[in-house]
Amino acid sequence: MQQQCSKRGFMDVVGMLVATVVGVAVQAASQATASCLCQEVLQMATPADPTAHPVSLGTRLVQDLDQMYCAQTCLLQETTFERMQPYEDARQRVAAAIQETVSYLDMAAHQNTLTAEEAIHLKTFKRAFAAFQHRSSDVASKALVAESPTEIAAARELAAGQGQGAFEQAGAALQPLVARLGGAEPSAEALQAERGFPSVGTTWVRRIVVHGKGKTITRTNTVLGEAIHGGKSVYRIGDGAKIRLYDQATGNWTATIREGRELQEALPYVPIYAFPLWVGKIWQSRYTYEDRERGRTFSDVPWLGRVTAYEDVTVPAGTFKTFKVEGTNVYAARLVEWYAPELKTSVKSRLERLPDHYLGPGKFTTELIKYTAK
């Protein structure tokens, strides 16, 4: 039979948080107790592939904080070092995952992607989590070196007292942050955009303005159809000189080729979109980018994406209902796209390369001039 661990206090916070953010009715009594199977703690604490799919930051923080506390509690139910160690490994892995998520948010705050209020909530949570992590490490250390039942009992007492309090404070600090970031599901009334792609033969013309250089580029694109690239299904869009490939499963750019030769590639893709889209959705992911023309490779690139608005946008091709999608990465690039569900593509984008970008600084605005559906 699998062991169970109980976690109190913060489950009240999680219950209210889920009810508020995700829209699921949860009864949160002051003495509510939820249980988790310790074997599942070991499985869930194994980090998921961060490139597998974009992950909702709010959801990840709630789940990881919960799992970290549960791993600690399961550890304290054991009496030998050998049986405690797997739970300690799990606890440390989940703590590292929380730190990584916080680093994404720090990056967003640094680049002004977070609002001032969100940045304040982030700072509060970081302090509370640091206190919980310190207390949790203290509890685990005492248990791992315990040589008698009395010493193990002392570690359990510390966990039930100061450890529980630090956990609940971290949960309380997390609640307003996640309420701002959003959960894994939209509210019942939220407008959404599902993944789609224009039909084969559809064409559009875009105008690209290179700010500061007095340069304007006009580019005609045509949907060429599907193909297999790197073992996965992709959509192809050609402009007469190059063909851009988009991952079918996500709708994101993954490579650019010319005469059958790859010029640039992102593995698995650049996660600009995380369909379905709704206002408030925020996600994180990682990818590897290779610029074969210039011989540059960037591994494990972090990306933070967010849907910030649903608004009308007017471009030369007309006025469209759009989802405003903002993204940023650590290599000094900021991107804003206005995605029109009606056309299944963006009608406007704004790219800013900061001085640290490997291609140098630059600002580019792209607008849709003409769209002909098939």
In Å, how far are 96, 146, 178, 308 from 175, measured between CA atoms?
20, 35, 5, 20
For residue 25, the model assigns a pLDDT of 25
Contact 287, 274 (CB under 8 A): no
| Amino acid in position 132 | F
For residue 101, the model assigns a pLDDT of 87
In Å, how far are 201, 238, 267 from 225, measured between CA atoms?
8, 10, 21
Question: Among all chains, which residue has been given the structure tokens 């050609």?
Answer: 238
For residue 35, the model assigns a pLDDT of 57
Structural domains of the chain ordered from first start: 4-181 (no CATH), 203-372 (2.40.360)
More confident residue, 259 or 22: 259
Number of CB atoms found within 10 A of residue 57's CB = 26
The pLDDT tens digits of the residues spanning 59-91 come to: 788 889 999 999 999 999 999 999 999 999 999
Number of CB atoms found within 10 A of residue 143's CB = 25
Residues 6+ apart with CB under 8 A from 23: 185, 187, 188
Helices (H), the chain: 10-17, 38-44, 57-77, 81-110, 116-144, 149-158, 164-181
The pLDDT tens digits of the residues spanning 304-350 come to: 899 999 999 999 999 999 999 999 886 678 999 999 999 999 999 99
| Rounded average pLDDT over 27-50 | 53
Helices (H), 21-144: 38-44, 57-77, 81-110, 116-144
The pLDDT tens digits of the residues spanning 139-197 come to: 999 999 999 999 999 999 999 999 999 999 999 999 998 887 765 677 788 899 999 99
Buried b (16+ CB within 10 A) or exposed e, 80-96: eeeebebbbebbbbbbe
Q: Cα 229 to chain center, whole Å?
A: 25
